[in-house]
Amino acid sequence: LNCRTWGLQSSLAGAQGLENHLSYVCRPEKVIVGDGACGKTCLLLAFSKDQFPENYVPTVFENYVADIEVDGKQVELALWDTASQEDYDRLTPLSYPDTDVILMCFSIDCPDSLENLRGKWTPEVKHFCPKVPIIVVGNKKDLRHNEATKLELAKMKQESVKTEEGKELACRIGAFGYTECSAKTKEGVRDVFEMATRAAFPHSVKKCCLLILMYDY
């Protein structure tokens, strides 16, 4: 693995505090993509701060640092959360190069978000990162059997995404793996980042810093 000094362009000045805290970033880098409101920000907060914000509104360049132990090794995660289509478009050229893991998220209570992984996000990821391992993540697992959710989806003649459907998509696009989680109940949250770390280090997990960029718009 190659280590490099972390120095992104001046447009990322909002991350200055995190840059001062971390003197290096050792690949892999993780990029998390998916539709807005599919649970990416809540997933990040549940993992890094053990919080579930009922009315959280993501802000541009909000930074978090969290540690995780995988296979007996400590790994430091540098977590980024960005917002809005404008910022996403501006940051895409900076975030995709040298990426080692892609987390493609959808919401289990929103079949359209799964369809967008297939029709929108997969082509983009394959274009920018054709050889990078992908993990498909089903967020909001707790809503799969929620009665209110079932009623709302029934009005649109839809159903919550089944586990088999998520696995089928992961298999179809050649993903490294598929996993589900709930930021609200914390079920499966740690599993997401453990799987991502193992995908980044296919042979052995080494102590380093991981840079995770999250997009929500």
Per-residue pLDDT of the chain (217 residues; tens, 9 = 90+): 333 323 333 333 333 343 333 333 343 444 555 556 666 778 888 888 887 877 755 544 456 677 888 888 887 776 665 554 544 554 454 455 666 678 888 999 999 999 988 988 888 888 878 888 899 999 999 999 999 999 999 999 999 999 999 999 999 999 999 999 999 999 999 999 899 888 877 766 665 554 444 444 3
The Cα 173–Cα 38 span in angstroms is: 20
**pLDDT value of residue 17:** 40
**C-beta atoms surrounding 2 within 10 Å:** 6
Domain encompassing residue 45: 3-216
CA-based nearest residue to 30, from 120, 110, 95: 95
Q: What type of residue is 165?
A: E
What pLDDT was estimated at residue 73? Answer: 82
d(CA 43, CA 217): 15
The rounded distance, in Å, linking the Cα atoms of 163 and 150 is 16
| Number of domains present in the structure of the chain | 1
Handedness of CA 48, 49, 55, 58 (dihedral sign): negative
* Residues 161, 195: Cα–Cα separation, whole Å: 21
The CATH number assigned to the domain holding 155 equals: 3.40.50.300
Report the 10 Å Cβ neighbour count for 52. Answer: 16
